[in-house]
Amino acid sequence: MIHTLLRLPFRYSPFSGEETRQLFLLSALPINFWYILVWLRSFGAIVEESGLWEALGVGAYMLIFSLAEVVLIFFLVFYSSHLINAFPKLRRSQHRLSLVGMLYLVVAGILILEQSRHMFELPTDGPLWEFINRANNLVASSPIIILFIGLLVFAGFVIAVYRSTRIKGLIAATLDKLALLSSLYLSLNVISLIIVIYRNLFP
């Protein structure tokens, strides 16, 4: 069924089976990372207020929600990857994966940075934030800013991947390691699922 879903509505998949798995793991990495961080930030308060089991329960549910988000975002990224077929020089699927993977991580990084501002109450002065605030005033919506930055980064990476074999190799190796790290987070998703099932069977 997953295979069928991945094929639809396109005739050809842009990635091999192994690369698809790698892309899924990459999609999961920033999402799970941030969910876990947010959970840990409130862990102490929940333990103090309601106990350890409640705090674990909240974490388990959060990781279930994160898994749902991972699946959704993965399909979005996967289908978006078909657009890259429009670039004739990216014939090798590994190149396509490098491009999509890095682009995805950069966008996720920007979104995490945006949330970090609130979490760590980061100062919002300096040239970067000045630029963002100015752009924000211009278009009055932060998602548009993020899209704008994303497009700039996209253009930069397209040029880099087109021109440098070394960059391509470096990116591929990095993505490989990150995918491995992500599989560790995914094991937490599995544990969370078990906790959630248990809590609903034995409330």
Partner 1 sequence: MDFNHSVRSYLNRREFLKLGSLFLLAQNLPSVFSRPAKVAAENDLPNILIILFDTFSATNISLHGYPRETTPHLARIADKAIVYHNHFAGGSWTYPGTNSLLTGSYPWSHRGFYSGRDIVSPYLENNLFSLLDDHHRLAYTHNPKVERVLSQFEDSIDHYEPRHSLYIDNQSWLSKLFGRDFETAALAWERSIKKGETGYTGSIFLSEPYNAAQQARYLQYLEDFPKGPPRILQDEYFLLSDAIDWTQLQTQLMPQPYLAYIHLLPPHAQYTPHRQFIGAFDDVDYEPTKKPRHFMHNKAKEKTLIEWRTAYDEYILNVDHEFGRLYDYLEAKGVLENTWVIMTSDHGEMFERGISGHRQPTFHQPIIRIPLMVLEPGNPTRRDIFSPTVGVDLLPTLLHLSGRPIPNHLEGIVLPPFASGIELVDRAIYAADAQKNKPLQPLTEATTMIVRWPYKLVYYLGYPELPDGKPVFELFDLENDPEELQNIYAPGSNPSDELTEELLQRMREKDQPYA
Please, what sign has the CA dihedral across residues 6, 19, 194, 105? negative
**CB of residue 196 vs partner 1: minimum separation in angstroms?**
7
- Compute how many residues bind partner 1; rule: CB under 8 A: 38
Looking at the Cβ atoms of 135 and 172, the one nearer to partner 1 is 135
Among 20, 66, 94, 182, binds partner 1 (CB under 8 A): 66
Q: Does 30 bind partner 1 (CB under 8 A)?
A: yes
Select from 34, 55, 37, 35 the least CA-distant residue to 45. Answer: 55
Residues 94 to 123 in contact with partner 1, rule: CB under 8 A: 108, 111-112, 115-119
Select from 65, 95, 105, 115 the least CA-distant residue to 160. Answer: 95
Q: Does 185 bind partner 1 (CB under 8 A)?
A: no
70-100 CB burial, b ≥16 within 10 A, e <16: beebbeebbeebeebeeeeebeebbbbbbbb
Q: Does 84 bind partner 1 (CB under 8 A)?
A: no
Q: How many CB atoms lie under 10 A from the CB of residue 120? A: 9
Q: Does 133 bind partner 1 (CB under 8 A)?
A: no
- Per CB under 8 A, residues contacting partner 1 are 30-31, 34-35, 38-39, 42, 46, 48-50, 54, 57-62, 65-66, 69, 72-73, 108, 111-112, 115-119, 142-143, 196, 199-201, 203
